[in-house]
Amino acid sequence: MSRAARSGPHRRGRFVVLEGLDGAGTTTQARLLADSLRADGRTVHLTAEPSGGPVGALVRQVLNRRIGGRDGGPFDPATLALLFAADRLDHAAVEIAPKLAQGVDVVSDRFTLSSLAYQGLAVGDLPWVETLNGRAPAPDVTILLRVRPEVGLRRRHAASLDREIFEVAAFQRKVAASYERAVERLRAAGQEVVVLDGERPIAKVARAIRDGVRRLEAPSARRRR
């Protein structure tokens, strides 16, 4: 029986989010963290955004250029921001919240911070994007893997020939600065955000993430925003 199961049905799971530029290593590190927590005896649910739900599937088609704007133009950034926010609320309600209530730890590859960084920049109105996501639950900790844009893109291009709409060097440099601004906004709102060097060897980054999560206090019964 896992530790989570032994702790009883009323103990809430921990919600951990991995964030960063495209190619920062969030997908790899989310998987490694989930494996590590399971080795500690925790029950873990690994997830990602865009989610596997119906709105998330639509978002992925926009990102992969399967769906574009009118007359072949780009998809409207404000509409995409709305879709991301809708997917997040659906993801939280259908997948994340039920798992946490069962005492399961949830590790998500991206969450609200991505929208603040990417959509806040694309739309040019970070406060509006922040308002759109105001009802999304706050993670127990958000871990930002900081990498230089050129490093992230080099990793992405080595891993896949597919290119998403935001994988452009000039835009990624702007997103890196947007992430820093968004982190400060989350911290000002009282959220826990940890920034790590994502360019270190994979094993060292994984160890730093694991140690940070293990230091989390047992989640309280405080009301989530």
End-to-end CA distance of the chain: 32
* Order of strands, sheet of 44-48, starting from the edge strand that comes earlier in the sequence: 44-48, 105-109, 15-20, 141-146, 193-197
- Structure confidence at residue 92 (pLDDT): 98
Q: Where are the domains of the chain?
A: 12-214
Residue 58 has pLDDT above 50, yes or no: yes
Quick: pLDDT tens for 189-204: 999 999 999 999 999 9
Cα torsion 42, 48, 52, 57 to 10°: value is: 180
Quick: pLDDT tens for 91-125: 999 999 999 999 999 999 999 999 999 999 999 99
Separation between Cα atoms, residue 148 and residue 196, nearest integer Å: 12
Beta bridge partners of 105: 44
Model-level pTM? 0.86
| CATH class of the 12-214 domain in this structure | alpha beta
Task: State which H helix or E strand residue 38 sits in.
Answer: helix 26-39
Residue 5 has pLDDT above 60, yes or no: no
- Structure confidence at residue 224 (pLDDT): 41
Quick: pLDDT tens for 134-162: 999 999 999 999 999 889 888 776 766 56
- Structure confidence at residue 4 (pLDDT): 42
Query: Tokens for 67?
Result: 């769906």
Place of tokens 């009118």: 70
- Specify whether the CB–CB gap between 17 and 111 falls below 8 A: yes
- Structure confidence at residue 156 (pLDDT): 75
Quick: pLDDT tens for 61-90: 999 888 988 878 889 999 999 999 999 999
